[in-house]
Chain A
Amino acid sequence: MNLEFVKRKKKLATLLIISSILVLTLTSILPWISVIEKTTPSGDTLVSYNIAKMEKSNDNEINDIQKQLELINICFWITVIFGMISLASTIIYITEKNASLAQLTMVIGCITIIFSILGTFLLWTLIGNINSMNNILDAVAFQNRIVTIKYAYFPLALGIMSAIFSSFYVIIVIWQLVKRVASSAERKKSSKKETKMELDKPSVEKEPEPSEQKTTFAESIKAEKAPIPKIIHEPEKSAELEPAIEVEESVHQRKYFEFEKDQTKKSDSEKTHSKELPKSPLFEKALETAIEKRQPDAGRKEGEIKKEKPPEKRKMNVRCPRCKNVFKIEKGEKPTNIKCPKCGKTGKIN
């Protein structure tokens, strides 16, 4: 699983949701238009309208603008909802619980690109429409000789940002999906080739499937029909830790099985132990040689550790739950009984 991809995807989805929420908020708060009204005999006055004031107006043109703003709001609401779905897909994807559901939600999340771009486009056209109307102007936030900043530009900027985030999101999702499909196709091809090769050479012994590779050595020995690996010495390669297991049926193996059966019958305690690793002199010897080969000083180290290092005692501070007194104790590997020197409360530390 690509964690970097998941992080990026999550970040983009979060930014997309935040920018869309801000567009929605600014659309409701900011004054959008300034209408020239002849209210006083001295001259015309500019009256600013926000979306709530537009709703209550009787002018058809203003009502049209309000309807267009409502449409923009719907677009960004849908963007928020699909952004949330894409966020949820991130968590489903990372848990690897349901890969198909994760992919489906990821693809559904890609719909954000449609609505964010549509919303931004509508905002852009709305600004253009307002400029072309008579008696209606864009509400100005800041005016200078050089620059004029209109209120409508703020949601537009955020809309463009959300469109960019959604397009980046779609790009990385599609890229990841394509990569996945390509890798799965490659895997299928290689597995087909291998099976063909095996069919061509029937003399070659059956080897365990890749899924079986994960099973332990002890389990593979326990299975009656499974080939038993025999560890042999290869002095030249031992330094490089090359494996030297020969898979072959031999008289030794049969003897080993008989010996193993005798051993398991002898004692119940050994039975439970043999579930994890079979204990027999032959096996122990083989295992020791393998360990020595891979870690030449392992056996020695083990002995040294046992002799040289007695169980370490750690000093630690403990706070009594009753009187809140803090005191020092020495803790070994086993659970230690402790007693508070102040109040006498006893307890156990694992």
Chain B
Amino acid sequence: MEEKPTLIEKRKEKIKETMLDNTFKEAESKRSLHSSDKNSEKKSYKKTFPKFGFVLIICAIIGFIIVSYVPWAYIEYGPETETTTVTIYKDFKIENVENTQIRTLFQSPDYYLGLSVGDFSKTATLELYSFISLIIIGILITIFGILDKMRNFSWEIFIITHFVISTSVIIPAIFIVLSVAKFLGAHFIQYHNTLPESYKNITILFPAAFILIIFGFIIIKLAFTMMKINFNKIQDTKEDEFFEENFSSTIARGRTR
């Protein structure tokens, strides 16, 4: 009967094995038998300058243009032979001749569409603030990129900071969507509610609101994509590390057997 090895003997054996492993690895690397593994060891996360900041600034500029120059309401009414078209811009600036009938649509105490004249200016201001905050976040990301070039942060700090800033983009993007959601709601309501007879054959569209909602969702999608890219990069790096830690010695042994 063979005697079972004690715990200390086992541990001793383990230590011996690890020491031999280390020596063997060094010997291999010194004699360049493991040249192919060198490349994999060097593989690590490569920091690149964050371009997302520029993308956000560009998005915000486009947003400013949409808020300022795209009509907030486009109204067509009247009999087929004499249709009148009214275009309303931000702050309720009516482009065509001042139309009292349209004004009452948004001023009467019934608020047929749930929108008031004040909503046009308030929402536009909110949108502008949201885009300004996007520009600030964009500038922050760019400054962080420049600081990284100067101070060379560790890749973990770089990726965590970049990820957190990218995540914070979601908040102004939700504001962009929600502040104009009432215009889309008004569009829904006009199909449910019957307007007074004076507004017969009326068609109301809210182009700026539609575009801004889509734009807001695009910014949210962009933020998620950035997060996904960061996450995938870090995951690949960690998977490589994990593979090297757990399987590199096994491969070396497998070759000899």
Contacts and interface: CB of A to CB of B under 8 A. Distances in A.
Interface of A: 1, 3, 6-7, 10, 14, 17, 21, 24-25, 28-31, 34, 45-56, 80-81, 84, 87-88, 90-92, 94-97, 139, 194, 197-198, 201, 204, 207-208, 213-218, 220, 229, 231, 241, 243-245, 247, 276-277, 287, 290-291, 294-296, 298, 301-302
A301 B35 CA distance: 14
Given A30-B188, A197-B7, A204-B8, A243 B178 contact: no
Contacts of A95: 156, 159-160, 234
Contacts of B188: 29-31, 48, 50
Given A17-B170, A139-B192, A217-B22, 15 more contacts: A3-B242, A34-B192, A46-B192, A49-B189, A50-B182, A53-B189, A56-B116, A88-B160, A95-B160, A197-B8, A213-B19, A214-B22, A216-B22, A229-B19, A294-B20
B33 A290 contact: no
Given A17-B170, A25-B181, A291 B194 contact: no
B239 A3 contact: yes
A307 B21 CA distance: 28
Contacts, number: 182
A144 to B, nearest CB: 18
B31 interface: yes
Contacts of B257: 241
Contact of A92 (B16, B33, B160, B224): B160
Contact of B192 (A48, A214, A244, A298): A48
Contacts of B177: 21, 25
Contact of A290 (B20, B160, B167, B171): B20
B26 A91 contact: no
Interface residues of B, dominant DSSP: helix
A112 B26 CA distance: 50
B239 A31 contact: no
Nearest to B9: A204
B1 interface: no
B95 interface: no
A261 B52 CA distance: 57
A298 B29 CA distance: 13
20 contacts: A3-B238, A14-B224, A30-B185, A50-B182, A52-B115, A52-B186, A54-B114, A56-B116, A80-B170, A80-B171, A92-B160, A216-B26, A217-B23, A231-B20, A243-B13, A243-B16, A276-B30, A290-B24, A294-B24, A298-B31
Given A91-B160, A95-B160, A294-B256, A29 B185 contact: yes
Interface string B3-37: 00001100111011111111110111011010000
Contacts of B7: 194, 197
B157 A97 contact: yes
B30 to A, nearest CB: 6
B162 to A, nearest CB: 9
Interface of B: 7-8, 11-13, 15-24, 26-28, 30-31, 33, 111, 113-116, 119, 154, 156-157, 159-160, 163-164, 167-168, 170-171, 174, 177-178, 181-182, 184-186, 188-189, 192-194, 220, 224, 227, 230-231, 234-235, 238-239, 242, 253, 255-257
Contacts of B31: 291, 298, 302
A53 B110 CA distance: 9
Contacts of A198: 8
B23 A49 contact: no
Interface residues of A, dominant DSSP: helix
Given A94-B234, A94-B235, A50 B114 contact: yes
Contact of A3 (B21, B22, B227, B235): B235
A88 B111 contact: no
A218 B26 contact: yes
Contact of B167 (A1, A21, A87): A87
Nearest to B6: A197
A290 B17 CA distance: 12
Given A29-B184, A51-B185, A290-B23, A97 B220 contact: no
B160 A217 contact: no
B152 to A, nearest CB: 16
Contacts of B22: 213-217
B238 A1 contact: yes
Q: What 5 A-B pairs have minimum CB-CB distances, sorted nearest first?
A: A53-B114, A28-B181, A217-B23, A48-B192, A52-B182
A26 to B, nearest CB: 9
A52 to B, nearest CB: 4
A88 B157 contact: no
A198 B12 CA distance: 12
Nearest to A102: B160
Contacts of B170: 17, 21, 80, 84
A231 B17 CA distance: 12
Given A50-B185, A94-B231, A276-B26, A220 B174 contact: no
Given A25-B177, A204-B8, A295 B255 contact: yes
Contacts of A213: 15, 18-19, 22
Contacts of B17: 243
A287 B27 contact: yes
